[in-house]
Structure 1
Amino acid sequence: MNRSGKKCVLYPRVSTEMQVDGFNLDGQKNSLKRFVIREEMEIVDVYEDAGKSGKSIDGRPAFKQMLCDIENGLEIDYILVYKLSRFGRNAILPRINYRKSLLN
């Protein structure tokens, strides 16, 4: 049910080390889905990268596809991540802000 009218995509990501430590994709997705239900949002899509570093966009095909889909008109209000570090490290945030400015 989407009473809020807000649409989102989920982006779970794990590095190899995090998978070993039990911080897995399923756990992230389950937490994000509980949040979506609580906030009465709609999940438009799920993009996940397993065993990928967050230092760069390169080597993260799902992340790149998500950005491409958004640039090509995917209508969402939010990208939801379990922790900000799952979105990426400091090196990629300026690139994301640049892309965001192009969309506005």
Structure 2
Amino acid sequence: MEERKIRVYLYTRVSTTIQIDGHSLDEQKTKMKAFCDYNEYEIAGEYEDAGKSGRSIEGRIAFNQMMDDIKSGTKRRPSI
């Protein structure tokens, strides 16, 4: 019998222009994907909000889309 992989959704976010122009988003994605590979997780969706504050979910379009997709079980890869 084939074992089902755990499904995960990846979300990356930075809040400043400096971080957007730098390597922070790519670093986040690389580390999360390596973690998923190591643990044999299935990536069900990838989401990114660049230049969005972490104080509130308002205006974080990708985050809200991810939450909707989690609730509905939708697979979305890549989302951007």
TM-score (norm 2): 0.77
Secondary structure of 2:8's counterpart equals strand
Where is the strand percentage greater, Structure 1 or Structure 2? 2
Moved over 6 A (4+): none
Give aligned-pair identity as a percent.
49
Structure 1 pair 18/54, CA: closer, same or farther in 2 (3 Å)? Answer: farther
Structure-2 separation of matches of 1:74 and 1:16? 31
Alpha carbons 1:47, 1:66 under 8 Å: kept: yes
Inter-partner Cα distance in structure 2 for 1:69 and 1:75: 5
Q: Aligned equivalents of 1:37 and 1:25: distance in 2? A: 18
Paired residue secondary structure (2:56): coil
Unaligned runs of 5+ residues in structure 1 are 77-104
Q: Give the CA RMSD over aligned residues.
A: 2.4
Match of 1:59 in 2: 59
The answer to whether structure 1 residue 5 and structure 2 residue 42 are counterparts is no
Q: Which residue of 1 aligns with 2:36?
A: 36
Q: How big is the shift at 1:67?
A: 1.1
One-letter amino acid of the counterpart of residue 27, structure 1: E
TM-score by length of 1: 0.61
Whole-angstrom CA distance in 2 between matches of 1:31 and 1:4: 23
